[in-house]
Structure 1
Amino acid sequence: METRRVVVVSGGMGTPSSSRMLADQLGEAARRQLERVDIHTDITTIELRELAVDIANNMVTGFAPPALADALKSVADADALIVVSPVFSGSYSGLLKSFFDVLDNTALDSMPVLIAATGGSVRHSLMLDHAMRPLFTYLRARVVSTGVYAGPEDWGTGSDGAPALDQRVTRAAGELAGMIAGTTTARRPNSAQASLPFEQLLAQVQGR
Structure 2
Amino acid sequence: MKLVVVAAGLTQPSSTRLLADRLAEATSGLLPEPPEVRVVELRELAVDVANAFVTGFPNTRLREVIEAVTAADGLIAVTPIFSGSYSGLFKSFFDVIDPTALAGKPVLLAATGGTARHSLALEHALRPLFSYLRAVVVPTAVYAAAEDWGGGGDPFTDGLGERIARAAGELADLLARRAPEPREGTRADGRQVEDLEDLEDVVPFEQQLAALRPPTA
Give the TM-score normalised by the residue count of structure 1: 0.83
Q: What residue number does 1:102 align with?
A: 96
1:8-87 pair list within 5 angstroms: 8-34=5-31, 38-87=32-81
Q: What residue number does 2:160 align with?
A: 165
Indicate the SS of the match to 2:119: helix
**Aligned length in residues:** 180
Q: What residue number does 2:209 align with?
A: none
Provide the rounded CA distance (Å) in 2 between the counterparts of 1:125 and 1:48. 21
Alignment-mate amino acid for residue 51 of structure 2: N
Higher gyration radius (CA): 2
1:128, distance to aligned residue in structure 2 (A): 0.3
Structure 1 residue corresponding to 2:178, chosen from 156, 178, 183: 183
Indicate the SS of the match to 1:87: strand
Alignment deviations for residues 128-182 of structure 1 (CA, whole Å, 9 cap, x no partner) = 00100000000000000000000022233465xx942111111100000001111
Gaps of 5+ in 1: 188-208
Retained in 2: the 8 A contact 1:158–1:167?
A: no
Q: 4+ residue runs of structure 1 moved beyond 2 angstroms?
A: 155-159
Alignment-mate amino acid for residue 95 of structure 2: D
Q: Share of identical aligned residues, percent?
A: 55
Provide the rounded CA distance (Å) in 2 between the counterparts of 1:39 and 1:158. 35
1:77, distance to aligned residue in structure 2 (A): 0.4
Please give the root-mean-square deviation of Cα atoms over the aligned residues, in Å: 1.7
Provide the rounded CA distance (Å) in 2 between the counterparts of 1:63 and 1:135. 22
Provide the rounded CA distance (Å) in 2 between the counterparts of 1:186 and 1:158. 46
Indicate the SS of the match to 1:170: helix
Gaps of 5+ in 2: 183-217
